Every structure is written in structure tokens, then in C-alpha cells.
Amino acid sequence: MRNLVNILDLSTEEIDELIKTASDILDNPELYTNSCRGKILGTLFFEPSTRTRLSFTSAMMGLGGNVLGFSQAGSSSTAKGETVADTIRMVSAYSDIIVMRHPKEGAPIVASEVATVPVINAGDGGHFHPTQTLTDLLTIKKKKGRFDNLTIGVCGDLKYGRTVHSLISAMSRYPGVKFVLIAPEELRLPDYVKDEYLYSTGCEFVETDNLDTAIPSLDILYMTRIQAERFDSKEEYERLKDSYILTRDKLAIAKEDLSILHPLPRVNEIDVDVDDDPRADYFDQAMYGRYIRMALILMLLKTKGVVDKRVTGAPDHSLVCTNPHCISRNERGIKLLFDEGRCIYCDQAASKI
């Protein structure tokens, strides 16, 4: 059984295969309308979602399958104190594949350990969002025709932006990719992402807080929302929320073939005037999400006999994860495991008790 928790669970060859299948579905949707007949997708959204949940639902329907699930933690037994592990055990019995979004980082790892069907991570707190990255990759392939030799500006909330963390881990594998990380000091990319995906791959990157000076060099500009729900301090959110607003004027010095992406929802970081610019690709990007998710469901339902477990070894009770948003600090019964001083659930540093 195969899961998708981190985008690096997929090799670059598998990503190519998914893109090929998604493109074929786009061109010949009628060939796929019975591909998942009799199969059920469980959609467990413990956090709000429009695009991700509805595109997964629409994807499964387009494949002839059925969907069950919930769109708010409050309407599930989580409200009664049920753990993620117990909810997943139940839904494994009611569905053939599960997609879940959870506010706590590392929750999909806990889920994939107890599930008896494939688990897809649709976003875990401020950690990862691999299926948004698949959507981004399909969009980049369609708009730029390649993954290598691209200068990618990522702008906004790089600290809590799970779409950014997954995009960087995926794109840092391709030669000639350079990142321009544009964020205010307080919302810079976390060390665990830099260490694991930029320094370790030798991927070139620069950090700046200035969008205007970064724009001319970019092939792709990936804008993100400053996410109110991830801040512990409302004052800090208020101070940072309008850090960047992309306008038509700012784009005057951008490349003619720049591709402007955004995982959406947008708040006000892209002015609506930009929507008519031919370089604004974010609504196409959202549309592509349905097709790459169809390809992913097909791939994961097809893969048999693979055992994909990552929680192994003896728990270490001398350490604790330093991340207050980690699932290991928020639910009972989770085996405390660390790899080279980092929590295996959320990748953040551990400290001695």
C-alpha cells in the first residue's frame, strides 16, 4: 500500500508519469469515467478547504467512484475527543483510499501507520501539502514546458506556508533551479526546509524582503497568503498581513513569459487587476488540480504490495519535539521518535526533557 505524505514519496519518474496521465485525462476524459467504479474516496477535512476538497471530490466522481467524508472537525467524532488514529481506523473500513487535511503537523504520518488503505496528505498544519505541489508541477509543465533551469520567486508566508515547503522540496531536485525567497524577516523559510531541501541538494537560493527588486529575474512568481490562522499573535498578523501586494504596475518590469502562480485562496496579495494579465496563471492552476488528483488516485489504487511504514524503532522518552503544533504533542498514544535530533512527524528540532 502506498501513501502520499511528503512530495518526496514520489520519484521524479513517478511525477512524470502522473503528469502524463493527467494530460491524457484532460484530453480524453471519457476514457476514464469508469476507472474507479465501485471505489470509495474518504475525504477527512479537519481544517477548511475549497479547492483541495472539492477537486478531490470532483476527481473521484470523474473516475466513476463515490465519495464520503466530512468538511469540519466539529462534525466528526474529533469533537468528542477521538484521536486521528481511531478516526482513520474507522474510515479505512468504509473507503478504499483516504485524503485528509489536519491542523496538526505530522498527523498524516500517524494516519498512514494505522490505515489499511492509501492515505493522501491534503495539508498538515504549516508543514507540507504535496497534492498542491502536484498541481503546481502540472501547471509549470503546461506553462513553461520544463522543470529545469527556472528562477522561482516564492513570496509571502514562507514560514507557515505548507505549499511553499512542498514546492521547494519538489523543485530543488531539478538542475538549474534557483529560488528567490521573498518574505519579511518574521516569515522566512524555516531551517528544517532549508537544511533538508536546499543545502542538502545544493540548490541555489537567495533571501530578500523586497519583491520589487526580485521581479525582473523571475520565470515563475509563486505568491502566497499571509495565513491568519497560523499566527499565535493577532497583532503580529495585523502588522504583517499586507507585506506584499502584487499590482499591474509592479509587473511592468517582469519578464514577458513570467508565470504567476498562487495556491489560492487569495486575500489581497494579488490585486484583482492582475487577473486579466496573460501571465496570471493561478485560475488555470486551480483547474489543473482536478486532473492531477485523478491521476494520483489511479496511481495509488493501482499500487499493490508496497509496505510504506515510517514509524519504526524504539521510542525515545528523553526527547520532546519543540514544535507546539506537532501531532506528537497534541494527541495521546503517539510513539515519540526522532531522527538525527528531528521529530519524525513534523521534522522540527527536538530538545532534551
Smallest distance, ligand NCD to C-beta of residue 353, A? 32
Three-state DSSP class for residue 324: coil
Residue 140 or residue 264: which is nearer to ligand NCD going by CB?
264
| Grid cell in block for residue 133 | 505541489
Q: Report the distance separating Cα 252 and Cα 298, nearest Å.
A: 42
Residue 186 or residue 249: which is nearer to ligand NCD going by CB?
186
First to last CA, the chain: 36
**In the 8-state DSSP scheme, what is residue 198?**
I
Q: Report the distance separating Cα 335 and Cα 318, nearest Å.
A: 13
| Grid cell in block for residue 141 | 509543465
Smallest distance, ligand NCD to C-beta of residue 304, A? 29
| Grid cell in block for residue 338 | 526522532
Residue 147 or residue 160: which is nearer to ligand NCD going by CB?
160
Q: Please list, in sequence order, all residues whose beta carbon lies within 8 angstroms of the beta carbon of residue 81, skipping any fewer than 6 positions away.
A: none
Smallest distance, ligand NCD to C-beta of residue 332, A? 27
Smallest distance, ligand NCD to C-beta of residue 207, A? 21
Residue 42 or residue 263: which is nearer to ligand NCD going by CB?
263
Residue 1 or residue 245: which is nearer to ligand NCD going by CB?
245
Smallest distance, ligand NCD to C-beta of residue 204, A? 25
Residue 142 or residue 255: which is nearer to ligand NCD going by CB?
142
Smallest distance, ligand NCD to C-beta of residue 26, A? 19
Q: Report the distance separating Cα 193 and Cα 179, nearest Å.
A: 13
Residue 57 or residue 92: which is nearer to ligand NCD going by CB?
57
- Scan for cell 467524532, then name that residue: 77
65 in Cβ contact with 37 (< 8 Å):
yes
Closest CA to 117 of 33, 47, 39, 58: 39
Q: How far is CA 288 from the centre of its chain?
A: 15
Residue 163 or residue 328: which is nearer to ligand NCD going by CB?
163
Annotate 211-224 with b (16+ C-beta within 10 A) or e (fewer). beebbeebbbbbbb
Strands 342-343 and 350-352: unpaired
Residue 143 or residue 262: which is nearer to ligand NCD going by CB?
262
Strands 119-124 and 97-102: parallel
Q: Report the distance separating Cα 117 and Cα 90, nearest Å.
A: 11
| Residue count of the chain | 353
Smallest distance, ligand NCD to C-beta of residue 162, A? 5
Smallest distance, ligand NCD to C-beta of residue 193, A? 15
Chain residues in the site for ligand NCD (CB under 6 A) = 51-52, 123, 129, 132, 162-163, 225, 227, 263-265
Smallest distance, ligand NCD to C-beta of residue 306, A? 26
